[in-house]
Amino acid sequence: MPYAIVPPYLLRRVAAAGDHYPTAAAAARRSLRAGAPSEPAPVRPFDPSQSYALPDSPSQPDRRISDAGGTTRLPGRLVRREGERATGDEAVDDAYDGLGDTHRLFDQVYGRDSIDGRGMPLEASVHYGRDYDNAFWDGARMVFGDGDGEVFAGFANSLTVIGHELSHGVVEHTARLRYEYQSGALNEHVADVFGSLVEQYARGQSAETASWLVGAEVFTDAVEGRALRSMLEPGTAYDDDVLGRDPQPAHFDDFIDTDEDNGGVHLNSGIPNRAFALAARAAGGFAWEGVGRVWYDVLVSGELAENAKFAAFADLTIAAAVRRYGVGSAIAAAVRSGWETVGVPVAAAEPAR
């Protein structure tokens, strides 16, 4: 199930909880069987020599929302296009608004014209499947399930989920981090970073006041949990008698070696997530500005290998912070401190470039 917001280990816990959540258990089993309908679509290779910023040409989103009508046939019936009025269908209108918020962050902060940097239409399908317990990016569009109503609510009402999944598309068109093991965890991490920044930018939240939660809206009130993940405090997002405790590690010493979940991509992403959140809070102000710009610089630099490991990514962020803000700058120091706090080894000195 490529690029899905709910990891398979959590769906398996729900699937085994039939005594407590019979509807949710059946829905989770169907969701696990269904997966995503296709592998990500092929994209053009990233060309670091080509400009992806359009400072003199304001970008406008081109949103297209379709209704799958409870089927797994995509895209479904087109129900709202760019500029059209709200439909009254909450999932349709939430998806439309969330796509706009995501486009706005990348356009106004990073000068990026949509996912591919070239004005790619933003497409989404809602009401996918029957009680489908997930949302995913399939390489061409966002797809949202309605949840089962016992454990999971609808997924289109979470702005961090929308921003996260569309950010997988940005990764596909830039660094193309391989979706396995450490590079896959970095792929998930980058999607969490920009998913969180979409929400913070839309709500005007500082790094200090932001919740740093991903998917805070997807659980029903029956679940003892705040969200799917906490970037600031990995391992604390949920602790439920039935679903168990959030298993994300917060320190590199606790890195989980596993072949499941593409080598633990949703698990180990907690380590770089905490590094980013700590760096952003240490730098202060708005995270999409200082530290967010550093992460975006790395993403589009052409220097990030598809199979990059945590240490290489960390060194690139430190170097990018120095290039943008200077040797000895508060932001470069905050980035370095974030990685050191979570135990990821970094180069001994800041490169003076």
Q: How many Å apart are CA 307 and CA 347, to the nearest integer?
A: 19
Q: How many Å apart are CA 323 and CA 107, to the nearest integer?
A: 22
Half-sphere exposure of 133 (CA within 13 A, CB side): 29
Q: How many Å apart are CA 214 and CA 163, to the nearest integer?
A: 10
Specify the residue for token string 């933003």: 122
User: What single DSSP character describes residue 39?
Assistant: P
Task: Assess contact for 233 and 342: CB atoms under 8 A.
Answer: no
Task: Assess contact for 325 and 343: CB atoms under 8 A.
Answer: no
Element (H, E) at 104: helix 90-108
Q: How many Å apart are CA 210 and CA 196, to the nearest integer?
A: 9
Q: How many Å apart are CA 150 and CA 3, to the nearest integer?
A: 23
Element (H, E) at 65: strand 63-67
CA trace torsion 99, 102, 104, 108 (10° rounding): -160
Active-site amino acid positions: 165, 266
User: For the chain, how big is the Rg over CA atoms in Å?
Assistant: 19
Residue 241: partners with Cβ closer than 8 Å, 6 or more residues away? 224
Q: How many Å apart are CA 100 and CA 218, to the nearest integer?
A: 20
Q: How many Å apart are CA 148 and CA 164, to the nearest integer?
A: 21
User: Can you read off the two tokens belonging to residue 249?
Assistant: 């590690």
Q: Give how far the C-alpha of residue 333 lies from the chain's centroid of Cα atoms, to the nearest Å.
A: 25
Q: 110 in helix, strand or coil?
A: coil
Of 179, 220, 292, 219, whose CA–CA distance to 229 is shortest?
219
